[in-house]
Amino acid sequence: MATAAQCSSWHYTSPTLPLHRRPGLLRQQPPQAARRGRLPGLQAAAAAGGARAEDTIKAATDAEFFQPSDARPIMLFDGVCNLCNGGVRFVREHDPNRSIRYVPLQSESGRKLLQRSGRAPDDISSVVLVEKERSYIKSEAVLRIMEYLNLPFPQLAIFLKFVPLFLRDFAYDNVANNRYTMFGRSEMEACEIL
């Protein structure tokens, strides 16, 4: 089960996450509460250590991937999925400003960015868009990616945001769970494209 420090530091919110992993549901006690004896000393130290570990991961990935000279968002995708690779090609064709970078989830960089986003490093169940201050998953990531593309995609994204998140994520999950069956699997993992 996730600790309060881990849950409160995640940068995305989704109603499809299990209750114990949603940010804000596990409220973190303020540091002075630990001094007053509301939290046992061991729990307070563990909570503080978890928060520092999350901050360390974020600082390390910020230094590596989000430098002042290049702070473009990064799209994490399944490198062996034909649908995902086709999606990357589609986004590249409709993004003439090259405002998005691409990294396969299976790469070392992808694993680091997944951890930064509060996900397991081997989780390849969803496309993830990692921005400097926030990460998006599932249908939210797709709509956010559409906002970076040429017309008419930003307008289409605004229209699709009126569809409730649980319906968008339900449709996304159905496609994602059957993507290898419907579209096949590439024998070679896609190379890292930054």
117-148 per-position pLDDT tens digit: 889 988 889 999 999 889 999 999 999 999 99
Q: Angle between the 153-160 and 138-146 helix axes, to the nearest 10 degrees?
A: 150
CA distances 124 to 3, 81, 118, Å, are 23, 10, 13
The residues pairing with 137 across neighbouring beta strands, listed in sequence order, are 128
CA 149 – CA 154 distance, rounded (Å): 7
Cβ distance 3 to 50 under 8 Å? yes
Condensed to tens digits (0 to 9), the pLDDT of residues 92-117 reads 999 988 999 999 999 999 999 998 88
Cβ distance 88 to 74 under 8 Å? no
Model pTM above 0.75: no
pLDDT value, residue 169: 96
Give the residue extent of every domain in the chain: 51-183
Q: In what order do the strands lie in the sheet with 128-130?
A: 101-104, 74-77, 128-130, 135-137
173 in the Ramachandran plot: left (φ > 0), alpha (ψ -120 to 50) or beta?
alpha
Chosen CATH of 51-183 out of 3.40.30, 1.10.3470, 3.10.310, 3.10.20: 3.40.30
Residue tagged 């090259």 (tokens): 98
Name residues of the chain where pLDDT drops below 70. Answer: 1-54, 188-194
Cβ distance 121 to 111 under 8 Å? yes
CA 36 – CA 26 distance, rounded (Å): 20
Residues listed for the chain:
194
